[in-house]
Amino acid sequence: MISLSMLALLDAFAGEPGTTLDIVAAAVRERGLACERPRAVERDTSTSEPDRAAWIIQCEGQAYRVIFEGDTGPSVMPMQ
């Protein structure tokens, strides 16, 4: 399960797009959703808070908002 330690890793690697892309794509897949050939990831500044990191990831055919908050694991929402 991805937890606060993963949130710290995301913050540490925020300047490393490949690493962040891999971590966020893994979070999507952990929730049982497809994320084939992830293309891009960017911080969702409108949703992020100091203890709540939100990212938008573009996978082939689908985009997701992924929110890392607390020890409950990521929340993943398909975007329209």
Q: From the centroid of its chain, how far is CA 75? A: 9
Domain boundaries, the chain: 4-79
- In this prediction the pTM is 0.77
pLDDT at 73: 82
Measured distance CA(63)–CA(61) in Å, rounded: 7
3-class secondary structure, 40: strand
pLDDT at 2: 46
pLDDT digits (tens, 9 = 90+) for 17-70: 568 899 999 999 999 999 999 999 999 999 999 889 999 999 999 999 999 987
pLDDT at 15: 55
Look at residue 5 and tell me whether its pLDDT is greater than 60.
no
pLDDT at 14: 55
